[in-house]
Amino acid sequence: MDTNSQNLKLEDHFCFSLYACSRAILRLYRPYLDELQLTYPQYLVLVTLWEKPQRTIKELGEILNLDTGTLTPLLKRMEAAGLIERRRDTVDERVMNIHITQAGQLLQEKASCVPQSLFDATGMSKKELDEINETIMRLLHQLNGEGKK
């Protein structure tokens, strides 16, 4: 019947499950992030700045795997919203330093329930999710490593 058996069905493409799952999770985040007036990548930027309140655009790009074409306008919107400040480095003026503001710091408290809410929505155990996370992280590093060769 099937003359070309090497062609996989959709559900056999593991890339599709990742792609669809990633978007499904963004949909779950949306109501929480809407309340904070944030988009998902903006939230990720804040997560990194809550850990360390000043970073360069280059650092953010490496951490989040995003390039300047994405980050520059995104950070400008965040600055307009008062969550961060963009300041040229005085020593090396090519570098743009991103600082979190008081308002950005305050959001940490309001956002603290988000991870728990998301966890609940998955309907999975902590152990199971940790295992998924560990596996996907391993795959991610593998893929990023391959790409740089």
- Angle formed at CA 61 by CA 107 and CA 16, multiple of 5 degrees: 90
Which residue's CB is nearer to DNA, number 58 or number 131? 58
- With contact defined as beta carbons under 8 Å apart, do 109 and 102 qualify? no
Position 27 contacts DNA (CB under 7 A): yes
CA dihedral 89, 101, 105, 52 (to 10 degrees): 0
- Closest separation between CB of residue 15 and DNA, Å? 11
Q: Which two tokens stand for residue 92?
A: 């090396």
Position 91 contacts DNA (CB under 7 A): yes
58: CB partners within 8 A, 6+ apart: 95
Position 33 contacts its own copies (CB under 8 A): no
**92 three-class SS:** coil
Position 106 contacts its own copies (CB under 8 A): no
Position 146 contacts DNA (CB under 7 A): no
CA distance 33 to 117: 12
Residue 92 interacts with, from DNA, its own copies, none (CB under 5-8 Å by kind): DNA
Rule CB under 8 A: choose which of 14, 37, 76, 106 binds its own copies: 14
**Contacting residues toward its own copies, per CB under 8 A:** 4, 6-29, 40, 44, 47-48, 50-51, 63-65, 108-109, 111-112, 115-116, 118, 121-124, 128-130, 132-133, 135-137, 139-140, 142-144, 146-147
